[in-house]
Structure 1
C-alpha cells in the first residue's frame, strides 16, 4: 500500500512538472475553414485557430511556381499591410519571411519575425505555404487578428522575384475567428427543404425597391425545428439583391395577397416585424448550434411569414425578373431550445441623421428590458444570446452592442471595428451571454461621410442609413424589437435652430452649416438627449419608455505575444507589455514524454532513483 502511495505521488509530481500548453496546429493538422480569395479560384486559403494560445495557422495554396504571400491590411490602404511571403527556388531551397509593404508594390522585411513556417512545397501545379502567427504580436508592422472583419491580403508571383503585381494581388473580407462551422455540426437524416421565395418578380428600374409578399411556413402534423437557412439567389441577379428578411406573423394578423412595396401606401404590407431569419449581401448559409432551432408546427408557432427582399438596381436595368428567397432546412429531430431573434438599434426613420463631411459620427440606440415580461404576457426566463448579425449601409464603419446591469457596464456583447457592408453574416458568440429583466442594451454605430455633401437620413435605401443589431437567442419570447431614438428637438436647439415639434427638428438639420465643430456638437447633443425607447411584440403591440445613453468603457487590449522567431526591436514594444510565446507546435494538447522539459525529466529520473532505493530498503 505504501509503495502504491509513493508511486501515485511520483506520477502526480511528474504531471505538475510538465509544461501546460493549448492545442497547437502542426504541419499536418486538419484546418477547419477555407475559401478562395480570388474570382478565378487560383488562390485558396485554409485556416484554423486556437483561442487559448491566441495563435492562428494559415495554409495558402496558389496555382503558381513563383512566390506566394498572405497577410492582413487595414480598411483604407494597402501601404503598411503585413505580408508573410515564401517560395521554393529552382534548386529546391526554401525561402520564407515576415514582411510589410512600404508602398503599393515594395516589400520590406520586418525587424521582428513573428510568423513560424510549418511547411512550404512546390509541385507541377501549386505552391503551398503553411505557417502560424500570434493574433497580436509585439511588432507594429503586424496587423492584429481579431473577431472584427479582417481584410485578408493575398498575392503571388510567376517567379521568385518579390514584387507585387496588381493583377495578382487580392483582398477579401473574411471573419477569420468565426466560432462555429457547419462541418462541426450535426445534419439530421430526415432533413426536409422548403423554399420561401418571390417568383418571377420584375425588378423596377429604380435604385431601391423593397418587395414583400406573405407565404405560409411548412405545414407539419407535429413540432419540427428549422436548423439551417441559406439565400436562394438567381444567377446574374446576385448583385441586385441587398438583403432578404423573413418576418414571423402573429396568427391573428389579417394578411394581404400578392407582391407590393413593403413600406408603401398599403400599410398591410409592413405588418409582421419579428425577424425569423435574415441574410444580407456577402453572407452565405447559416446553421444554428446543435441545441437550438426555429419551432414550427405547434399552436404557439407562427403559420405565416412576410418575405422582404431589398433590391438595389443602381444601373436601372430594364426587364430583369427575379425569383430569389430563403431556403430553410427542417427536421422532426427536436433541439433543446426554441430560438428567437431580437432587433436592436436606432429607430430607422425619421429621426436618424448623419451630417455630411464627417470623419467620424456616432449614433446610439437604447433598449431597456424592464417592460419585456409585462409585454410578453407570460413569465419570461432570462435571454441567452448565442449569435448576432450587424447591419448598417454604406457609411457604416463600426458597430458594437454593450450590456448594462444596475447602472454598470457588464460587457461588450459583440462588436466590429472594421465593418464591411459587403460582408454581412450571422456570427456566433464565443460564449453565450445572459440578459436578465431590467438590463439595458446600447447599440453604437460609427459612420464616415467624407464623400458626401448632403445630410444622410435613416431610411430603407442603400444611400440612407441604418444602425441595427440582431440578437439570436433562446428561449423564444414575444418581443420582436427594442429600439431607441434621440430627442431631435433638443438636438436642434443645441445647434441653434428653432423647432417646436419633431418634424421641425428633422427639417432644421438641413439649415445647419456642417463644420467639424457643428458635427461634434450634433454628436454630443444626440448622446446627451433623452432617448425614446420603442418596444414591439410579434402581435404589433408597441409601448414606449425613456432613458439616457450610458457611457461606454472601452475594453483594454491584452498584452502582445513576444516573437519566437526573431528579434523584437525596442521601438516595437507596446504599453500593454509582453507575454511569452507558447511552446512549439504539437498535434495535440496532451503532454507526452517528448514534450516534457529537461527539468521535469531530471526530476522524474531522480524521483525514480529515490523510489527504487526506498523500495529496496523496505524489502
Structure 2
C-alpha cells in the first residue's frame, strides 16, 4: 500500500512540475511583468513620458509599460485623427497609502473620463518611487468593447496623459498624442550588425536653402568605390538639427551606368532636364522617419559591373516661413559590409503618375485616386527573365491631404491580397516598414494603388505635383531579387473624365483645365471619383536606364478585408459595488512580484488542477505518515 501511494505521489509531483513549467512558458510567451519589451519611444517633447511596448501577433495581445515623471496618475490609450472624444484611456496610479488603482476608461468629451462597462486591460504591474510612476498592462489588439479602439498595423495615434496627484482630471498641458507604428515587425536591435561595417555619407554640403515654400535640390554623387562586391545593409537620415523641420524627404536614386550626368546642385525638376535623370529609388527617408536596417538576407549590391556607380540625391525642402540665409548639409548615411547577404534587393515605385493628370476637388470629405501597374511587360523591358518578386517591405507617401493608402494584388483577374495599407496615414510619420510575411508577385500580376484624400479645408483644386501643398500617391515596394524595372504607375483618361462632368476637352491639357470650370459639390465630387475609376488607365513603366513603355488597363474593384474576431474581456463587467468612491477598482498591494503575477495569469482550469494536485499530494503524504 505504501509503495502504491509513493508511486502515485511521484506521479502527482511530476504532473505538478509539468504544470509549473507550462505556466512559466505561458508567462514568457505572453510578455508578462518581467519580459523585455523591444520597442520604446518618448511621447512628449520634454521627455517626461517614456513608453515601452511589445506584442504577440499570433495571440493578438500587446503589452505596454508607461514610465512618467510624476507622483500622480498616468494614462495611456488610443485616439483618432480629429478629436480625443471617444478615445480609450487606461489609467492607474498608487495612492499615498500604497493602494493601487487601475481602470479601462474612455473620454465622453474632451475633459471627462468614464469607466468602460467591460474592463479589457490586464494590469501587470503598477509602482511609484521618488521619481516615476510606472504602469504595465496588456490588452488585446481588438476587444469586443465598442469603447476600445483597435490596434492595427496602421499608424496608431497614441494618447498619453498624467496628473500631478491622484485626482483624475485631464489637463491639456499634460496630455499628448503621438503617431506610432505600434505593430512593427522587426527592429534594428533584433538584427545582426556586421563587424566590418563601413560608413559612407551621401549629402549636399552647405546648401543655401532658397526662400521659396518648396525646393527640390538634386546632385549626383558616387557610391562607395570597392574592389569587390559589398552590400549596403542599413541607412539613416543625416539631418542638420536646426533644419530638420525644413527637410521633407530625401531620396537616393540609382543611375544607369550609361547615363551622362551633370555636375553641381540644381532644381531636380526645373529648366535642366538632366537633373531629373535616374528614377530607380534605392533608399528613401521622409519626415518622421528614422533609420532602417534591411532584413539579414537582403542588401543593396555595390561593386560589381551590374551595380550602379552613381546616384542622384534628392532633398525636398519646405521653407514655409521663407527664412533667408539658412544653409543645410543634410543627406543619407549608408552602412555597407563585405559580408554578403543572400539576395540583392530592389525598389519598385507604384502609384498615380504625379504630373500633370492628378487632381483632387476642393471640399471633399472623401476622394479616391487610383494608379494601376501591369507587370506583363516587365520581362521584355528588363532584357532578361524576371524571377518572381519577393516583397518584404514598403514605404507609403502622400502629402497633407492624404488619409489612407493601400496596394492590392490581382492575378488572372482575381483579387489575391492586400499587400500593404494604412487606413490612418499620418504625413508626419513616414517610415519604411516590413511586412509580417513576404509577398510573391509573379509576371503578369496587376498591382493597384488606392489613395484616399480629404480636402474639407481647401477651396481650390489640388493638383499632383512636387510641392507639399500639391499631392502625390506613391507606394515603394522593397523586394528581391533585383531587376531593372524602376517604376510602374498609372493615370486615368482625363478627356473621358471631363466629358463625364459635362466639360469639353480634346486633349489632356484641356481636360485638366476643364476641372477648374466644374462647380464642386458632394454630388460632382463623387461623379468625378467614379469617372476617374471607370476611365481607361495609361500605365507607364520605366527602367533604370530611362527606357519607357506604355500600356493600358482598367481599374478592378477592391474587395475590403473584413476585420478579424474580437477577444472577449478577461476582466468581466464592472458592477457598481466593485467601484471605490473615486471610480476605480482598488488593490491593496503594488503588483511587483513576477511569481504572483504568473499564478494570477494562469487559466482558471490550470489553477484548479494545480490546487487539486497539491491536495492529492498532501493527502498521499498524510497517508504515508
Residue 566 of structure 1: how far off its partner (Å):
2.0
Residue 604 of structure 1: how far off its partner (Å):
9.9
Residue 597 of structure 1: how far off its partner (Å):
3.2
Partner of 1:366: 372
Residue 568 of structure 1: how far off its partner (Å):
8.5
Partner of 1:615: none
Residue 494 of structure 2 is aligned to residue 519 of structure 1: no
Partner of 1:272: 278
**Alpha carbons 2:34, 2:594 under 8 Å: kept:** no
Residue 35 of structure 2 is aligned to residue 29 of structure 1: yes
**Alpha carbons 2:154, 2:181 under 8 Å: kept:** yes
Partner of 1:574: none
> Equivalents in 1 of 2:385, 2:535: separation in Å?
33
> Equivalents in 1 of 2:180, 2:341: separation in Å?
30
> Equivalents in 2 of 1:357, 1:235: separation in Å?
36
Residue 23 of structure 1: how far off its partner (Å):
2.1
For the aligned residue pairs, the C-alpha RMSD in angstroms reads 2.5
> Equivalents in 2 of 1:551, 1:603: separation in Å?
58
The superposition leaves residues 332-390 of structure 1 with CA deviations (integer Å, 9 ceiling, x where unpaired) of 00000000000000000000000000000000000000000111101111000000000
The superposition leaves residues 468-519 of structure 1 with CA deviations (integer Å, 9 ceiling, x where unpaired) of 0000000000000000000000000000000001110010000000000000
SS at match of 2:376: coil
Partner of 2:81: 75
> Equivalents in 1 of 2:492, 2:374: separation in Å?
14
Partner of 1:341: 347
Structure 2 counterpart of 1:467, from 470, 473, 477: 473
Structure 2 counterparts to residues 125-164 of structure 1, below 5 A? 125-164=131-170
The superposition leaves residues 287-309 of structure 1 with CA deviations (integer Å, 9 ceiling, x where unpaired) of 00000000000000000000000
Partner of 1:597: 606
Structure 2 counterparts to residues 5-154 of structure 1, below 5 A? 23-154=29-160
> Equivalents in 2 of 1:180, 1:116: separation in Å?
25
**Alpha carbons 2:240, 2:329 under 8 Å: kept:** yes
The superposition leaves residues 146-174 of structure 1 with CA deviations (integer Å, 9 ceiling, x where unpaired) of 00000001000000000011111011000
Residue 603 of structure 1: how far off its partner (Å):
12
Structure 2 counterparts to residues 534-549 of structure 1, below 5 A? 534-549=540-555
Q: 1:208 to 1:563 in 2, by over 3 A?
A: same
Structure 2 counterpart of 1:206, from 212, 215, 218: 212
**Structure-1-length-normalised TM-score:** 0.90
Partner of 1:383: 389
The superposition leaves residues 75-105 of structure 1 with CA deviations (integer Å, 9 ceiling, x where unpaired) of 1001111000000001111000000111111
> Equivalents in 1 of 2:508, 2:607: separation in Å?
74
Residue 522 of structure 2 is aligned to residue 478 of structure 1: no
The runs of 5 or more residues in structure 2 that have no matched partner are 1-10, 576-592, 618-625
Partner of 1:195: 201
**Alpha carbons 1:562, 1:568 under 8 Å: kept:** no
The runs of 5 or more residues in structure 1 that have no matched partner are 1-6, 570-584, 609-619
The superposition leaves residues 25-46 of structure 1 with CA deviations (integer Å, 9 ceiling, x where unpaired) of 1101000000100001110000
SS at match of 1:504: helix
Q: 1:601 to 1:416 in 2, by over 3 A?
A: same
Residue 496 of structure 2 is aligned to residue 490 of structure 1: yes
Q: 1:586 to 1:42 in 2, by over 3 A?
A: closer
> Equivalents in 2 of 1:446, 1:557: separation in Å?
19
Q: 1:604 to 1:413 in 2, by over 3 A?
A: farther
Structure 2 counterpart of 1:425, from 413, 431, 451: 431
Structure 2 counterpart of 1:404, from 405, 410, 422: 410
> Equivalents in 2 of 1:323, 1:542: separation in Å?
34
Residue 233 of structure 2 is aligned to residue 224 of structure 1: no
Structure 2 counterpart of 1:350, from 352, 356, 361: 356
Residue 559 of structure 1: how far off its partner (Å):
1.1
**Structure-2-length-normalised TM-score:** 0.89
> Equivalents in 2 of 1:297, 1:598: separation in Å?
61
SS at match of 2:509: helix
